[in-house]
Each structure stands twice: as structure tokens, then as C-alpha cells.
Amino acid sequence: MQGLLGTLLGLKVVEARKDKVVAEFDWRPDLCTVGGTLHGGALMAVADQVGATAAFLNLPAGAGTTTLESKTNFFAGCKAGKVRAEATPLHVGGRTSVWQTRLYDEAGKLLSQTLQTQLVLLPKQG
């Protein structure tokens, strides 16, 4: 996945459409808590990166995006394997978009769900 954070996290895009972005990364000890479970901050960073990528695919030419708000619920820990992130839109408008990103372990167990609002940064006129 393009960008320094995506590279650092080892994200690989599996699917990228305007209505869905899917990316995967591998569990690594350097992304974990002392107990060996993927850190919540790592899961949130992945969700933000994947959701922002999905928002970017929906932007008008020359526009950018930034996260306005993000909320994550955690449901289970992950101590090994591949993690899959799936971002889908709840709203795509002219000034904002809202994305739901769910992260799953290899067995398909839901690890977390992030709801984020992205601001559309329109290019300056004149």
C-alpha cells in the first residue's frame, strides 16, 4: 500500500474499488503489546489507512482527504497470522464521506470495527 505508514505496517491491497477496499498484513511482534497481542493502535492505524484509501478513490480530481473523526470498537485479540481489513462506505458526499472498516483474523473472527469520517479537501481556486 502506498505511503510511508502503509509500508511500515506491511499493508498489501487485495481489492480496491470505490465501494470497497480490502488490504491485508501479517501479525508481527513489533506491532504487539507485551503479551503478544496485536496492539489496538496498530489496528486503528490500519483501519484509518484503509478507510482513507477508500475515501481517496471517491474524490473529485485534484482533491485530497483527511480524517475528521475516528472511533474504534475492539472485539477480539490476535496473536498470529494474517489480518484482513475491509472498508465500505456508509456515506459519500461532496464534503465528507463516512467509512466502516472491519478487521478480521485468518479464521474470519472480527477483531475490530472502525467508523471514520473523512473530509474532502477541495483544491484552491485561483
Calculate the CA 68 to chain-centre distance.
14
Break the chain into its structural domains and give their ranges.
Answer: 5-121
Q: How far is CA 37 from the centre of its chain?
A: 19
The pTM (predicted TM-score) of the whole model is 0.94
> What is the reported pLDDT for 3?
72
What are the tens digits of pLDDT across the range 21-34? 999 999 999 999 99
36-65 residue pLDDT tens: 999 999 999 999 999 999 999 999 999 999
Across the beta sheet with 82-92, the strand order is 12-17, 20-26, 82-92, 96-104, 110-121, 64-74
Q: What pLDDT, on the 0 to 100 scale, is given for residue 2?
A: 63
Q: What is the CATH number of domain 5-121?
A: 3.10.129.10
C-alpha cell at 77: 485479540
